[in-house]
């Protein structure tokens, strides 16, 4: 069934995705974008292995427009029967997203027939894969309004963050030794900054306001003539807060540039780096309008393949950085290594689809997020919404007071949720992001992150809401703390024996 392909077999008995969305969610219809035509040599050979895939450009030209049913029935071709109904509902889109079937179709020829090294300049196999890689690079550049030459491929946002921070800091260390970031950045940014501190750099970790946004006055006060780079995440991976990126970029181009002049003529302004892994393809980004100098991106947060990311590195005015990977000098000498053409093609196709369907995706996800919040918060008392209510709706973080978050997660085995970043999920410590908002340990431990994505359905949201309400009520009935609160006792006045 179509809906089960979207939910990876969660239920074989629920209505199809189109019916559920059309009947119950006040969002516009998706007009799927048809796959682009492939290069001249991109033909899938051995027809008995294609399981019905269209093998050439001429046949594919008859498929416009591509319907929803065609796309997902095509993706499930060859599957025998329905997937098991025990498959849990996936609401952890900030951790990763499923690869869009159209992205997979775009990648397959470069695994089977067009397998050449894109850096081989002496034969057709290299030429065709180089062309495909450059087309993927262009799709990513178009999504962020950049020049394709400014897109440097990496293994993911973690590498891009390391490359940006360490590369800029080390290149300009003779004149500048100061870095600014926030307390709510991704762990790889914070750990990169700590590594640079051990090398002698000074780092300022700015606090955030109660809604998760950085205070621009605090940032301005922290700027110095020796500030080399400022790193602020576009959309936070735990609470979905959207930072004032344009305002930060403007501040660095004006006040930051004036401060840099104190070190002598020609000294560059503080460079602006942003981790946009959770923002790419979900909200509009224009690197020129926002004054961004370096930006980290990741494919698997965008319904693309895992193992591929990119870093935007501005060329005019030029951003110079010290490479952290040495080798054959690929990617402008900033990131050596052979490009994985299938992954680059998949990332590019995911970016192309995201640009075309961003309005639909945002409307769909916004409607589901509102449905989730309204349903739960109208039926359960003492629930807090963490972060900015105007942030990215696909990342909803709720605190269920007087309940242990781990107990709540264990009771929700048929729902894939998170209590924080996937990169720190092995830690028993409360989320440092929530602590930065002002939450105490108890409330931080009682929080859940709901990651809503492109393929989430209304029916799944309703099921999750009913399950959450039932589990929260049951756990609170077992909690002596909840009983004390109901009796009007202020828990802060109690002196606990230890």
For the annotated catalytic residues, the residue numbers are 423
Mapped onto helix, strand or coil, the DSSP state of residue 121 is coil
Q: How far is 251 from 26, CA to CA, in rounded Å? A: 39
Does the CA dihedral 454-460-461-464 come out positive or negative?
Answer: negative
| Cα separations in angstroms, 445 against 187, 342, 420 | 18, 40, 10
CA angle 320, 321, 326 (to 5 degrees): 130
Q: What is the DSSP string of 228-287?
A: EEEE--SB-TTT-PBP-HHHHHHHIIIIIHHHHGGG-TTPPPPEEEEE-TTTTTTS---H
Long-range own/partner contacts, residues 335-339 (CB < 8 A, 24 or more apart):
335/152, 335/153, 335/154, 335/159, 335/163, 335/311, 338/117, 338/118, 338/119, 339/118, 339/119, 339/133, 339/153
Which of 185, 187, 194, 186 minimizes the C-alpha distance to 166? 194
Q: How far is 427 from 62, CA to CA, in rounded Å? A: 52
The two beta strands, 202-206 and 178-182, are: parallel
Q: How far is 43 from 41, CA to CA, in rounded Å? A: 6
Q: How far is 283 from 143, CA to CA, in rounded Å? A: 10
Question: What is the crossing angle of helices 124-144 and 341-379, to 10°?
Answer: 30
Strand partners, 274: 295
Question: What is the crossing angle of helices 187-198 and 157-171, to 10°?
Answer: 30
Mapped onto helix, strand or coil, the DSSP state of residue 176 is coil
The answer for residues whose C-beta is within 8 angstroms of residue 494's C-beta and 6 or more apart is: none
Tell me the two tokens of residue 467: 């399950």
Which of 305, 238, 285 minimizes the C-alpha distance to 93? 238
Q: Give Cα 256 distance to the centre of its chain.
A: 29
Does the CA dihedral 23-26-31-32 come out positive or negative?
Answer: negative
Tell me the two tokens of residue 479: 């909690």
- Neighbouring CB atoms inside 10 A of 441's CB total 11
């Amino acid at each position: 069934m179509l809906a089960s392909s979207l939910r990876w077999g969660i239920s074989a008995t629920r209505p199809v995705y189109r019916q559920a969305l059309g009947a119950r969610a006040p969002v516009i219809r998706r007009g799927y974008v048809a796959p682009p035509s492939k290069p001249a040599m991109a033909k899938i050979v051995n027809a008995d292995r294609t399981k019905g895939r269209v093998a050439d450009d001429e046949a594919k030209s008859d498929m416009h427009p591509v319907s929803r049913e065609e796309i997902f029935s095509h993706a499930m071709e060859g599957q025998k029967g329905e997937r098991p109904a025990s498959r849990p509902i996936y609401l952890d889109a900030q951790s990763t997203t499923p690869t869009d079937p159209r992205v997979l179709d775009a990648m397959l020829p470069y695994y089977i027939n067009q397998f050449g090294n894109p850096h081989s300049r002496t034969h057709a196999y290299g030429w065709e894969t180089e062309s495909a890689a450059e087309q993927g690079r262009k799709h990513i550049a178009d999504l962020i309004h950049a020049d394709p030459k400014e897109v440097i491929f990496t293994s993911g946002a973690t590498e891009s963050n390391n490359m940006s921070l360490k590369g800029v800091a080390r290149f300009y260390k003779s004149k500048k030794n100061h870095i600014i970031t926030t307390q709510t950045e991704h762990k790889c940014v914070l750990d990169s900054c700590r590594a640079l501190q051990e090398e002698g750099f000074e780092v300022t970790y700015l606090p955030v306001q109660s809604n998760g946004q950085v205070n621009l006055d605090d940032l301005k006060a922290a700027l110095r003539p020796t500030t080399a780079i400022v790193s602020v995440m576009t959309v936070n991976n735990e609470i979905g807060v959207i930072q004032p990126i344009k305002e930060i970029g403007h501040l660095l181009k004006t006040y930051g540039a004036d401060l840099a002049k104190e070190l002598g003529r020609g000294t560059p302004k503080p460079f602006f780096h942003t981790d946009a892994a959770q923002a790419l393809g979900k909200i509009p980004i224009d690197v020129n309008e926002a004054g961004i100098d370096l930006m980290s991106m990741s494919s698997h947060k965008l319904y693309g393949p895992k193992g591929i990311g990119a870093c935007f590195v501005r060329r005019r005015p030029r951003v110079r950085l010290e490479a952290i990977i040495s080798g054959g000098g690929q990617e402008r000498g900033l990131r050596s290594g052979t490009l994985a053409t299938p992954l680059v093609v998949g990332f590019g196709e995911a970016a192309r689809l995201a640009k075309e369907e961003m309005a639909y995706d945002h409307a769909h996800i916004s409607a589901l997020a509102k449905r989730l919040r309204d349903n739960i918060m109208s039926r359960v008392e003492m629930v807090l919404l963490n972060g900015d209510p105007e942030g990215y709706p696909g990342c909803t973080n709720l605190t269920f007071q007087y309940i242990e978050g781990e107990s709540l997660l264990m009771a929700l085995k048929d729902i894939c949720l998170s209590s924080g970043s996937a990169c720190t999920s092995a830690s028993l410590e409360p989320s440092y992001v929530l602590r930065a908002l002002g939450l105490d340990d108890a409330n931080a431990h009682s929080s859940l992150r709901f990651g809503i994505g492109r393929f989430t359905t209304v029916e799944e949201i309703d099921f999750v809401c009913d399950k959450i309400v039932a589990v929260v009520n049951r756990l609170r009935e077992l909690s002596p703390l909840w009983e004390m609160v109901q009796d009007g006792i202020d828990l802060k006045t109690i002196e606990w024996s230890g």
